[in-house]
Amino acid sequence: MRNLTFSLLAVVLIATIGLGWMFDGIYNQYLNQYNDQEQALSTQQQDSITTLEQVGTHLAVALSAIDNRQEFIDKWPSEGALSLHLRPLTGFPLPQALLNDLTAGQPLLLETDDSIAMHFYLKASDELLVLTTPPTPPNQSTSLLPIFLTSLFYLAVLFLMLLWLYPLIKRLMTLRQTAKAFGEGNLNQRINVGSISYIRDLELEFNRMAQRIDDLVTDIKLLSSAVSHDLRTPLARIRFGIDTIAEEDDPVLRKKFERRISDNVDEMVDLVESLLSYARLDQTLITLNKAPVDFVALVSTCINNKSQDDIELTLHAPKQVMVDGDLSYLAVLMSNLLQNAYQYCHSKIEITIVEQGSHIIVTVADDGQGIPREQREQIMKPFIRGQDNDKKVKGYGMGLAIVKRIVEWHHGNITIDASASLTGAQFTVTLPKA
């Protein structure tokens, strides 16, 4: 689940830090532009006030020199942005300090929400000339900008989360459908694991579980068919022998039939022990005691235990190769491969051990008939035996199935090919080095 954790952390960091930094930069850039605009507008407004002051001063001088001032004011256009009117100084509410400045000839600027008024004192008539103009409207765009950017930030976070959740939901739906189909009995169902899947570990575990269940079901079918087939023959012979003994009075013949019954019982015991041995090889029932194992010495011991005078066996190996594994099960692995080679070879067996990177490669080849390509996968299953036309080979087809299971426990690999030198079967096992 590391991909899920890392991807979630990445999305959170991008959504909070990355988007926050991006929108903060946008806001600061816009704010700088707005401040520049405000400064330019303030300068423009100051220039307008200066112009208005100059115009008002000239009008005040002109009106002071004429008698019909009101007539001039009445003829001033009322549609423009600048309006004129006269009002008496008496009763005008001003502090004394401002009133003194006004009567001394200094213009007075008064600004309200509705207008900007410039007042000029007309000394000749003791009146005030008032020039009124609308105020500059404030820029309202910045009041909505934080709300807009905040909304956009949360929308971007939501989009990123949905973008992250979509493949996760899709993979979970695929896992659900596959698990449902598997539970309905379609044991071939597997998940196509993607390289960037968030739940890659979970999908791999599901595939391993499905393969494990499929193998167990297959083993059960093979065990049941083997029991029904291989036990039926000795049981029939035992029954026939018992019936014959019951009707036979000759002691010699009775002893002969008793010996045959005993042989059939021994055959049944061997079959039952093979079934129990394979059942005990279930991975949940064993514990591997892994340690460095001298594999060359192990192979040499197995060769000495199974050597036959009429078979030529050649070993090509370095002096020492250490393998990480369980000594007892590795001994069973090599013993079964050697036993299989002895049973099916004509006169030669060749064993080769080489090192390759972090693994060793063990090949066991013989000069027998070999295994047809179409049978190589089936031959590794329990109770499946190879075809041999020259001689009758005893056994129940368990040896290679046990070898395959031991190799899987040690995270190795086994393949079957045709030997280039001996022309028979060649078993190649790859195991991790210590």
Domains assigned to the chain: 2-133 (no CATH), 141-207 (no CATH), 208-283 (1.10.287), 288-432 (3.30.565.10)
The pLDDT tens digits of the residues spanning 380-418 come to 877 676 665 444 556 667 778 888 888 888 889 999 999
The pLDDT tens digits of the residues spanning 41-72 come to 667 667 677 877 888 888 887 877 787 878 78
Question: Burial, 185: exposed, middle or buried (Cβ in 10 Å; 0-12, 13-18, 19+)?
Answer: exposed
Question: Do 292 and 286 contact (CB within 8 A), yes or no?
Answer: no
Question: Is it the case that residue 340 has pLDDT exceeding 80?
Answer: yes
Average pLDDT score, the chain:
79
- Name the strands in the sheet holding 348-356, side by side, starting at the edge strand that comes first in the sequence: 312-316, 348-356, 359-366, 425-432, 413-418
Mean pLDDT confidence for 294-302: 91
Q: How far apart are CA 42 and CA 29, in angstroms?
A: 20
Mean pLDDT confidence for 361-374: 90
Question: Is it the case that residue 9 has pLDDT exceeding 80?
Answer: no
Question: Is it the case that residue 329 has pLDDT exceeding 70?
Answer: yes
Mean pLDDT confidence for 102-120: 82
**Nearby residues of 28 by Cβ (< 8 Å), 6 or more positions away:** none
How crowded is residue 90: how many other Cβ atoms within 10 Å of its Cβ? 7
Q: How far apart are CA 20 and CA 16, in angstroms?
A: 6
Q: How far apart are CA 157 and CA 11, in angstroms?
A: 9
Mean pLDDT confidence for 321-341: 88
Question: Do 120 and 129 contact (CB within 8 A), yes or no?
Answer: yes
Question: Is it the case that residue 140 has pLDDT exceeding 60?
Answer: no
pTM reported for the whole predicted model = 0.50
Q: How many CA atoms, within 13 angstroms, populate the side-chain half-sphere of residue 406?
A: 25
Q: How far apart are CA 426 and CA 307, in angstroms?
A: 19
Is residue 323 very low, low, confident or very high in pLDDT (cuts 50, 70, 90)?
A: very high
Q: How far apart are CA 43 and CA 108, in angstroms?
A: 19
The pLDDT tens digits of the residues spanning 197-207 come to 767 778 888 88
Strand partners, 87: 128
Residue 391's pLDDT is 46
Residue 431's pLDDT is 93
**Nearby residues of 87 by Cβ (< 8 Å), 6 or more positions away:** 127, 128, 130
Question: Do 135 and 33 contact (CB within 8 A), yes or no?
Answer: no
3-state secondary structure of 309: coil
